[in-house]
Structure 1
Amino acid sequence: MHPDHTEPPHQPPPPSHGGRRLRNIVVTLALAAAMFAAGAVMLAPDQTTASRPSGQGRPGASPPRGSIEALQARVTRLPKDSGGWAALGMAYVQQARSTADPATYDRAERALRTSFNVQSEGNTDAEIGMGALAAARHDFPTALRWARKATASGPHSSSAYGVLADAYTQLGRYDEADEAVQKMVDLRPDAASLARASYAFELKGHTDRARSLMSRSLAAAATRADTAFAHNVLATLDLQDAAPRAALTRTQTGLKATPGDSALLETRARAHLALGDTTKALADYRAAIAIAPLPHYLLGLGELQQSLGHREQAEEQYTLLRAQDRIREAAGDPADTDAILFEADHGSPPRAVAMAEQTLRTRPFVAVHDAYAWALHRAGRDAEALAQADKALALGARSALFHYHRAAIHHTLGDPEAARRDLTEALREPGFHPLHAAAARDLLQRIDTTP
């Protein structure tokens, strides 16, 4: 989730009604900021701390409130507690996202189904959990169905509107996502709603608003997970603004508050890389992968190794990525963008096209349009690729990678001026990719020196 932006934001197309409403969040948040300062905003009481290691704290102490261990003890003691089962399911969803362990999703679903067995009707918490689970599995049509059920049974639940906003966003229904975010903020301007509002503006290239909202999300953070997430997004925005030292400082601050957070380690790796310290970048990538072997960590490390000429070490990461993709394919799940881009660059471009087409059917999100564009380009289908690249950038997202991809397509289609514009935008973040940043500089030099 990092549209890149390194200069004053692009102007998006004229906003629809949903876009106009979302801008009202700025007014809402001006009031909310004062409330935060006074300590008057109620935060969600049952946010989990599932990412904490087991046994954290004093020897013999009770497990932390909201942890998987505490929730397991709760449902053992109170097996007819539908809310306890729903909370346990959500904790498993969070753990699976943090550890990349797909088996944990099955445990989440069992817990949530048990909650429905206890309370089949009006079980908003379990409906929210099922929506979050479907979103985590990248089944966004199913996530939307559950989110609609949750907002119907719990019309005053901010969390229900959060799941609704996530589903609409990934389904490419951005105006409806803006409406859901606005409702979420209206109900409860807490860390979760502020983070979603930040992302809505980030997708449109409104960097300053995105940063301001995420800073407020950090101020409102009530859990270690919220704190780590906010620090990570702010550091990512620093990288996209070509401020790697600020990003490095931000990730180090975040890691002091949440040691061992894999996302912060991966972002710190990218900050080190942008500063030219490949040794530290490699170490942080390896540390992040040891915690959670997520595909974009493996791909980042592999391409960094490849850029350094370490082909054998790069191939180790690529082998793991291929194994992960075989598991995904066997399960019949659509590919994520990392898998599509990996296949386009390091495998079979025609297969990458087929993967992207399958994913796009149920997830017409900007990042999928970009991955599809790149797969089509690598497969030699540049006219089709350009249409998809334009869709990826239609909202105004300031992604260096998206702009590089479109630049390469423009160049192949014989439009060097359009390619130059996109390359200039991409290279506002000089270290945006271990391999493609150098390719972008080379391509721009060729264009500039061609009569």
Structure 2
Amino acid sequence: MHRETRTPGRSRRRLLAIAITLALGTAMFAAGAVLIEPANPGPPETTPSTLRDTRPAGTVQALTARLERLPRDFDAWSALGMAHIEQARTTTDPAAYTRAEQAFRRSLALQPQGNTGAETGMAALAAARHDFTTARTWANKAITSDPYNPAAYGVLADAHTQLGHYQDAEQAVQKMNDLRPDAASLARASYTFELRGNTKRAAELMRRSLTAAATDSERAFAHTCLSQLALEDGDAQRTLNEAEQGLRATPGDAALLDARARANAALGRTDQALADWQRAANTVPLPHVVLALGEMYERLGKQPQADAQYALLKAQDTLRASAGSPPDTDAVLFEADHQSPARAVAMAEEALRGRPFLAVHDAYAWALHRAGRDREALTHADKALALGTRQALWSYHRAAIHHALGDDTAAREDLENALGRAPALHPLHAGHARALLERIGPRP
């Protein structure tokens, strides 16, 4: 049977490396103690040296042009699928996910067995669609095809995390770091400690991830995470410094603009915060950014401007529902605070069925509270904070629930935790938290 001329093995492996790199950057993202220090990796010949070449040269246009010449290049089809996932992330265009799946399916049709790139890609795609059970299945398939594939362990870790299997996630992260302690592996290790509330260790590992970063996008991601960790530690100036350092290297990065906006909001620089949130929303209108912008306008008494952002969120949720995708936590919180608490409860229940993650438990707890179902809400608020995660908003949510149930001692403790890291709370929620603490009064 005739086959098109293929490029040498090095080029094919580089395409796979591109696919792996995109998988690690896209699928990410968030029990037991782990060291997350690299152990002895697998046989050198199983992990080609070309996997270290992680420059993201595989754009949609370049890969499409390549496939016009070499339509049976299954590695290129996998890389194209990954490029489409990245495109969906940066444009919020759900149609890109469909194109990604078509590319992966084509790759698998050309190479059904041992096609680690396409299998890892299908796992990353499922994770991006918040179908974490399917992501876990595909990641395990990729690991069966190549037990020394760090990318597959990365997506497996993401899936286990979102499914609430935190010890399994840690084991996958450990294996990933054993195989290749690069920027993506160290970032996942950082998140493991962040979920446990150990922000100091999380920052140390994220700093190592920044040092290991080989691309602008990896560096921007590391600075974003370091900024968020500083915010949860209550250090608004360090939050700002990390965001600005990242923006000097990658101007216009939406996640870094969001990080700088939160720092400026914490420092009382309202105009700068609004400008950064607006610019981030104009670049990539992600729900958490649009919600933060709308709530800042509401905090300032500019309800028409807030309503414009809320209208965008409602339109996004309509598109999400029509596509059959599960709700995300930002959509649930928006619905609970600004629309219908009863619908927020239904949305959270839908999300929780496929994603019993800490943040979803928090969103469900808040929706139940807003709907007047505080006894049920407390169960899920406790689950959200069960690992010791430092999230000021979650502590505020549980405080409000405790207060509604008449337990002001517990409410005061949670409020002190939330307001002790006041910069981590959006100004709108910080105002509500301070008002609640004043109503409860000082410790007896």
TM-score normalized by the length of structure 2? 0.89
**Per-residue CA shift, 1:46-90, capped at 9, x if unaligned?**
6464xxxxxxxxxxxxxxx22222222222222111111101111
Alignment map for 1:180-329 (pairs within 5 Å): 180-329=172-321
Q: How many residues align?
A: 410
**Alignment check: 8 A CA contact 2:135 2:159 kept:** yes
State the shift of 1:128 in Å: 0.6
**Alignment check: 8 A CA contact 1:42 1:188 kept:** no
Name the CA distance, whole Å, in 2 between partners of 1:351 and 1:330.
16
Q: 1:382 to 1:43 in 2, by over 3 A?
A: farther
Name the CA distance, whole Å, in 2 between partners of 1:346 and 1:47.
43
Name the CA distance, whole Å, in 1 between partners of 2:60 and 2:51.
17
Structure showing greater relative contact order (alpha-carbon pairs closer than 8 Å, 6 or more residues apart): 1
* Residue among 402, 424, 432 paired with 1:439: 432
**Per-residue CA shift, 1:317-360, capped at 9, x if unaligned?**
10010011111112222100000000000011011001101110
**Alignment check: 8 A CA contact 1:255 1:264 kept:** yes
- Does 2:70 correspond to 1:78? yes
Q: 1:198 to 1:320 in 2, by over 3 A?
A: same
SS in 1 for 2:326: coil
Q: 1:407 to 1:263 in 2, by over 3 A?
A: same
Matched to 1:446, the amino acid is R
SS in 1 for 2:237: helix
Q: 1:409 to 1:440 in 2, by over 3 A?
A: same
Alignment map for 1:134-213 (pairs within 5 Å): 134-213=126-205
* Residue among 126, 129, 135 paired with 2:118: 126
Name the CA distance, whole Å, in 2 between partners of 1:428 and 1:154.
47
**Per-residue CA shift, 1:116-174, capped at 9, x if unaligned?**
12111111100111110110111111111111111111110000000100000000000
- Does 2:323 correspond to 1:331? yes
SS in 2 for 1:205: coil
Name the CA distance, whole Å, in 2 between partners of 1:73 and 1:266.
35
Tell me the equivalent position of 2:373.
381
**Per-residue CA shift, 1:244-285, capped at 9, x if unaligned?**
111111111111111221100111111111111111111111
Matched to 2:405, the amino acid is L
SS in 2 for 1:435: helix
Name segments (4+ residues, structure 1) moved above 6 Å. Answer: none
Q: Share of identical aligned residues, percent?
A: 60
Matched to 1:448, the amino acid is G
Q: Gaps spanning 5+ residues in structure 1: where?
A: 4-14, 33-40, 50-64
Name the CA distance, whole Å, in 1 between partners of 2:50 and 2:130.
27
Q: Gaps spanning 5+ residues in structure 2: where?
A: 1-27, 42-47
Matched to 2:143, the amino acid is T
Tell me the equivalent position of 2:106.
114
* Residue among 350, 357, 382 paired with 1:358: 350
Name the CA distance, whole Å, in 1 between partners of 2:125 and 2:72.
22
State the shift of 1:430 in Å: 1.3
State the shift of 1:231 in Å: 0.5
Alpha-carbon RMSD? 1.9
Tell me the equivalent position of 2:399.
407
State the shift of 1:238 in Å: 1.1
Name the CA distance, whole Å, in 2 between partners of 1:437 and 1:43.
49
TM-score normalized by the length of structure 1? 0.88
Name the CA distance, whole Å, in 2 between partners of 1:258 and 1:85.
29
